[in-house]
Structure 1
Amino acid sequence: MKFYVDFDDCLCETAKAFTVIADNLFGKTVPYESMSSFNLQESFHLKDDEYEEMMIEGHKPEMLISFEETPGASKTLNDFIDAGHDVKIITGRPSVAYEASRIWLDQHGLDRAELFCLNKYGRDSFIKNGEFNLELEDYYKMKFDFAIEDSPMAFKFFNHMPELKVMVFDRPWNKQASFPGSNYHRCMDWEMIREKVRSLN
């Protein structure tokens, strides 16, 4: 089987880290559970220049490497790889974040998982002169059996795979999201993802 796995808020606790960054930079105190929008500018009520400053701060290598792992992520994915499955990490991070992201994966025992940066959200505007190492036209040639994703904004990237089984990692910003079809399944944690994959396989 082939797995698409999102990085932020599936593998690591990115949004929780940004609550600290926003507080430190601007004194914006927003509880994690109150983050009702995937758009961080909306969640933290930031002006355009504040949002850009926060994104640059949050994408510094030392910051990316420090993000906490989502419990069970590396263990579950390594079990999938050990079973012979193909795991690809498809992140919306700008391509200049690739090296730090690769270091994070390696440090968390996911050195066998391939990593690709895909322009999901146009974030490369925050880091000048970035080049994406996976273009949309190449991504759309790829096929997966399962996807693990938290962002409703990313669901459109699955439209070309009607048989894809999508595990939606439960997060505050997707609580009210409407799922495109019965192939979408809300999962509370990595153990539930493991069990859902087993039952659907």
Structure 2
Amino acid sequence: MMTEEGKKSVYVDFDDVLCSTAQSLIDILFQQYGKKLSYENLTCFDLSKCMNITNENVEKILDIAHSDEKIIQNDPVKKASEALSMISEMGYAIDIVTGRPLFTKPASEKWLSTYCVPYDNIYFVNKYSRQGDGYEDGDTLALEDIKKMRFSFAVEDSLETAVFISNHMNIPVFLLDRPWNKNGDSDANIKRCRGWGEIMEALSTTS
């Protein structure tokens, strides 16, 4: 989808901003290894540490999570689709900027269509310096590449990425409150929100 010329753009992450991916990872952990982990105890991006499993087993979990079947099964984040519809009506182009591997694009686009999530573009960015299939393709952007893009504001669940955006792009970043982003330094550009409802409330007072 092409952005209309002159239209203001917003950055929207995919996993756990639009799509409830973390719960899927927890479910796969139990199905594959019989280990139980509560959502509240998924307190960091390092899955080997949070799940107490090897990096090899983390890769196996991610392989399953990135399969077409699992992607389509993921539930939407509450009020995300409705909020993006309102943001689109406010005149913004919606750019989904995801750290998923590029080979998930067809399933990701199918998921967006299934849940009627409006968007203008979807960019696949190696946000976390991962290696392997889907992260080093020619069409996959590096994190540095997004510094060249122009957004009015961003919505993220990764505190590390939120700080990167704030530092390099100097735009407001709405950080959806998640167990894995509670620790670490924030800054004045980053506003922590409990859900999309709070994001829309904040936008209504500033627009």
- One-letter amino acid of the counterpart of residue 12, structure 1: C
What is the SS of the residue equivalent to 1:17?
helix
TM-score computed with the length of structure 1 as normaliser: 0.91
Structure 2 residues not aligned, in runs of 5+: 1-7
What's the counterpart of residue 31 of structure 1? 38
Structure 1 residue 170, shift from structure 2 partner: 0.4
- One-letter amino acid of the counterpart of residue 201, structure 2: E
What's the counterpart of residue 164 of structure 2? 157
Task: Pick from 133, 136, 158 the counterpart of residue 139 of structure 2.
Answer: 133
Q: How many pairs align?
A: 198
What's the counterpart of residue 3 of structure 2? none
TM-score computed with the length of structure 2 as normaliser: 0.89
Task: Pick from 75, 92, 100 the counterpart of residue 85 of structure 1.
Answer: 92
User: Given that residues 103 and 134 in structure 2 are in contact (C-alpha distance below 8 angstroms), is that contact kept between their aligned partners in structure 1?
Assistant: no
**Are residues 1:191 and 2:197 paired?**
yes
Structure 1 residue 52, shift from structure 2 partner: 1.1
**Are residues 1:174 and 2:190 paired?**
no
Structure 1 residues not aligned, in runs of 5+: none
Q: How does 1:101-116 map to 2 (within 5 A)?
A: 101-116=108-123
Residues 65, 176 of structure 1: alpha-carbon distance in 2 compared, 3 angstrom cutoff = same
Structure 1 residue 145, shift from structure 2 partner: 1.2
**CA deviations over 1:51-82 (Å, ceiling 9, x no partner):** 11111111001101111000000110011112
User: Given that residues 13 and 67 in structure 1 are in contact (C-alpha distance below 8 angstroms), is that contact kept between their aligned partners in structure 2?
Assistant: yes
User: Given that residues 95 and 119 in structure 2 are in contact (C-alpha distance below 8 angstroms), is that contact kept between their aligned partners in structure 1?
Assistant: no
Residues 25, 160 of structure 1: alpha-carbon distance in 2 compared, 3 angstrom cutoff = same
What's the counterpart of residue 54 of structure 1? 61
What is the SS of the residue equivalent to 1:168?
strand
How far, CA to CA, are the matches of 2:21 and 2:119 in structure 1? 22
How far, CA to CA, are the matches of 1:129 and 1:184 in structure 2? 27
How far, CA to CA, are the matches of 2:138 and 2:109 in structure 1? 15
Percent of paired sites with the same residue: 33
